[in-house]
Amino acid sequence: MKGRGVKLSIGSTVFRNRVFLASGPAGYGTEYADFIRLDRLGGVVTKTITLRPRAGNLGRRLWETNAGLLNSIGLENVGAKAFFAEKLSALAAAGGRPVVSLGAEDWDDYCGLLDAASACTAADVFEINLSCPNVERGGMAVGSDCGLLGKYVRRAVETLEGKTIIAKLTPNVSDVAALAAAAAEAGAHALTAINTVVGAELCPGLRAPVFRRVRAGLSGPAILPVALDAVWKIARAVDIPVIGAGGISSVEDAEKFFAAGASAVQVGTAIFYDPGLPERIAAALAKKGVPGVIGAKSQSREG
């Protein structure tokens, strides 16, 4: 991959470069338009959109750790109807290349969400959040079972025919490479690795958990080694592009993902304290080219 351009093609979509904002921290993207030149990034992955509006979890939602951030947001969002009618066009107007994150807790809602997405001609790239708990399977994350994961990805590929489908994988499994292979076999055009790592924290004094739901998602520098390990394994197991995400807080961190086999990267938690980082990474890639991949099976698709 060394010496190739910084543009990236996934499915039928060409991205201007290999640096994206990750789903979650940037909200709908427009929240950061005054701090980040969205038009200088490859894409902006929106917060996860569900079929109906969600108010999110009650109680505390964020808790800073020594090397990261725990979150228990609960997929708060305006719902598909309002998002596709209002938020999506606002992101595009702000210069962002939209990558719409989709998630659901049961099959019927998921199918309805895909139908709503297919009716929107302004969106052509979707990241499927496979870490959502599936209520029909006792709360098990959709992406923790190869069969269930394949079913969800396959339905997205079929319903959103002609669109670019990216499957976002959970790290909270024993064999992330097997899940990656299942997503690729089901027709995903690319994979994002990883989502947050499950964690918990106790309030000062050790009296009670910080979050009402006890467990939360850990992001930030603490999970960088976990994410690198996942990308390394996945890039050697599949032939589709892998987008590395998890703990990037410097240009060097991003370069580690490319060396591990990623074709692109997503920056998330770091924009809370360093909103200029995504642009610096993009500028560094443009200046010296994308670092070489060490023995990866997957190769980037160039535009």
What percent of the chain has pLDDT above 90?
Answer: 86
Residue 183 and residue 10: Cα distance in Å, rounded? 15
**Helix and strand element counts for the chain (H, E):** 8, 16
Residue 102: DSSP 8-state: E
Q: Stretch 273-289: mean pLDDT, rounded?
A: 94
pLDDT at 131: 85
pLDDT at 298: 55
Residue 204 and residue 64: Cα distance in Å, rounded? 13
Going from the N-terminus, what domains does the chain have, and what CATH number goes with each? 8-57+76-198+220-288 (3.20.20.70)
pLDDT tens digits, 225-236 = 999 999 999 999
The pTM of the whole model exceeds 0.85:
yes
Q: Which amino acid is present at 45?
A: V
Q: Is the model more confident about 204 or about 164?
A: 164
pLDDT tens digits, 108-138 = 999 999 999 999 999 999 999 998 765 466 5
pLDDT of 200 > 50? The answer is: yes
Residue 39: DSSP 8-state: G
How far apart, in Å, do the first and last CA atoms of the chain sit? Answer: 13
Q: Catalytic residue positions?
A: 132
Decide if 108 contacts 97 (C-beta within 8 A). no
Of 152, 161, 98, nearest to 130 (Cα)? 152
Least confident span in 25-34, 194-203, 214-223, 289-298: 289-298
Of 101, 157, 108, nearest to 130 (Cα)? 101
Collapsed DSSP state (helix, strand, coil) of residue 108: helix
Residue 34: DSSP 8-state: T
**Other Cβ atoms within 10 Å of 181 Cβ, number:** 18
Q: Which two tokens stand for residue 133?
A: 């708990």
Q: Stretch 87-99: mean pLDDT, rounded?
A: 98
